[in-house]
Amino acid sequence: MHIGLNQWGNCKYPFVAGHEIYGIVAEIGNGVSKFNVGDKIGVGCIVDSCRDCKMCKDNEENYCMKGMTGTYNGVRKYGRVSGNQNLQTFGGYSATHVVNED
């Protein structure tokens, strides 16, 4: 609610909320071993982090020292982008999401 109403002054528009996502794996990348196409999955509020800093290695991605990427109002650092080069994350109501298997 705070972000959608821009109460913190950092909302990126257009904005699509939703941070607890349920979906079905449509495609997997090289090296993915935990999931297969067609698997049902859940995604929390974080879709990416550096996975290299102390906090990430301690399974504290929300405190990533290089900045975590949220499922909404975030900026993706990795993954394929369809159409244009807009790397903004658009939340759980988006048609697709690119996430790490972790």
CATH classification at residue 83? 3.90.180.10
Which pLDDT belongs to residue 79? 54
What is the domain range of residue 34? 21-90
Exposure string of 35-51, with b = 16+ CB inside 10 Å and e = fewer, is eeeeeeeebebbbbbbe
Q: Is residue 1 part of a domain?
A: no
CB 61 within 8 A of CB 55: yes
∠ Cα 83 88 92 (to 5°):
95
Is 40 or 77 the better-scoring residue by pLDDT? Answer: 40
- Which residues, in sequence order, are CB contacts of 5 under 8 Å at separation 6+? 11
Q: How many structural domains does the chain have? A: 1
95 vs 38, more confident: 38
Give yes or no for residue 98 having a pLDDT over 90: no
| Residue 85, in any domain of the structure | yes
In a domain, 95, yes or no: no
Report yes or no on whether pTM surpasses 0.85.
no
Query: Within a domain: residue 69?
Result: yes
Query: Residue 97 falls within a domain, yes or no?
Result: no
